[in-house]
Amino acid sequence: MDKKQLRIVFMGTPEISAYVFQAMIDDGYHFVGLIAQPDKPIGRKKEIVPVPTKVVALKHHIPVFQPLKIRLDYEFAKALKPDVIVTLAYGQIVPQGLLDIPTHGCINLHGSLLPSLRGASPMQYALIHGLKETGITLMQMIDKMDAGLMYASRKVAVDPEETMTTLTEKFKVVAKELILTELPHYIDGKLPGKSQDESLVTFAPLIKPDAEHLNLSLPVQSVVNWTRALTDHPGGYLLDQDLKIKIYKARVANTLVSAPVGTVVKADKDGLLIQGIDGQMAILELQKEGRKRVDYKAFVNGNSGLLGGVLK
């Protein structure tokens, strides 16, 4: 396989995709196009900012395509004559018509050890489920969600206080190593692929905005796991009346049940504790709506009357 002769289209959008995209360029691969999600307004000023992969592509003079709906707009890919399409966190369902275009098909770096956690949010659900280990699978893209042949995988350890931010940092390095090692073998036909065991399939559906409101009716450890999965962006939150308080770091403090769920049972220099259904949760880092993110000591000092209040 000659890297410079291979015509590759990269499909991906966020920072993790940009990291792997750049690594493949640095390794000598030739890209004839990037397909990414459309640019979106960011921040309070709603300024249109290029998605991370687009920044990489423009720097290297690689053509960029950002269809609003790829299932309706992919004819442009035929003219690119790709040998293979490599995908990582693109963000839309890829239609069969596009999958049929490349000579060597389409492959995807999926953020779990398949067949576990098929779907849009596998890394988040590894944290939500409290897994101690997850990984990345290089897989065949077919017209059924994350159900194609598995070509290779790498495991990733999940630390007890891992967040989505720290796990993403681990994943992008492992994803880079996986694609750089295995893509030549795939192109040369040395990765026959293994079928997934359908009896072992689990799912990781897209996390929608309403799930960012932390559910205190869950066990405390589950609430903590959700905060990990939503940190640092977008951030899980509780409500103090109508104000959002984002929780960025929390842990299970104890198994005491001494007040109604959501009650602030401690608020001093030694801790900020919230009552859960099966114990109390220590809040370590948080952010009140309209304020800066702080540790619990600064929050307690800056907000009087916390003790006995109720968060929902």
**Structural domains of the chain, ranges and CATH numbers in brackets:** 8-200 (3.40.50.170), 209-302 (3.10.25.10)
Distance CA 11, CA 264 (A): 46
Distance CA 14, CA 59 (A): 16
pLDDT value of residue 123: 98
pLDDT band at 4 (very low <50, low <70, confident <90, very high): confident
Asked if residue 41 has pLDDT above 90, the reply is: no
pLDDT value of residue 44: 75
Residue 41 DSSP SS3: strand
Tell me what the mean pLDDT of segment 8-33 comes to. Answer: 98
DSSP assignment letter at 70? T
Residues 209-262: tens digit of each pLDDT: 999 999 999 999 999 999 999 999 999 999 999 999 999 999 999 999 999 999
pLDDT band at 2 (very low <50, low <70, confident <90, very high): confident
- Which two tokens mark 36? 């990414």
pLDDT value of residue 283: 98
Distance CA 285, CA 26 (A): 38
Q: Are 11 and 20 in contact (CB under 8 A)?
A: no
Q: How many helices (H) and strands (E) does the chain have?
A: 8, 15
